[in-house]
Amino acid sequence: MKEPAEKATDLFRQMNKNRRDVFKAYQGFTATIKKGSAIEDKYQSLILIACSILSQCDMCISLHVQNAATHGATKDEIIDAGLLAVAMGGSPKMMYMRYVYEEAEKLFD
């Protein structure tokens, strides 16, 4: 069975194949946001972890946990970013912490 990040990569390939114009426009949009941001990459990734939990997207959580680690976030910072989302979203969002813990354990343990 594929990991959530692998599933996301497959999805991106499929989107790029089927609607390259839309996918490239979306990538350009997000690249422009990041490029002009006053927020460092590490903190962007941590914010995106919380947003991914609130959106209930396991593939997004996996990708953003990996990105946060790549940009120097510690395991504790990653977990705390997820817990902030739980504080805002309550127990239904807590169920998505499973993906944060699974990804963090693969990266840090």
Q: First-to-last CA distance in the chain? A: 21
User: What pLDDT digit, counting tens, does each position of 13-51 carry?
Assistant: 999 899 999 999 999 999 999 888 999 999 999 999 999
Read off the CATH number of the domain in which 15 is found: 1.20.1290.10
Give me the amino acid identity at 63: L
Q: Residue 37: how many CB atoms within 10 A of its CB?
A: 11
User: What pLDDT digit, counting tens, does each position of 99-109 carry?
Assistant: 999 999 999 98
For residues 81 and 91, give the distance between their C-alpha atoms in angstroms, rounded to a whole number.
Answer: 15
Which residues form the domain of 58?
4-108
Confidence of residue 8 (pLDDT cuts 50, 70, 90): confident
Domains contained in the chain, number: 1
- pTM beyond 0.75, yes or no: yes
Tokens 């460092």 label which residue? 40
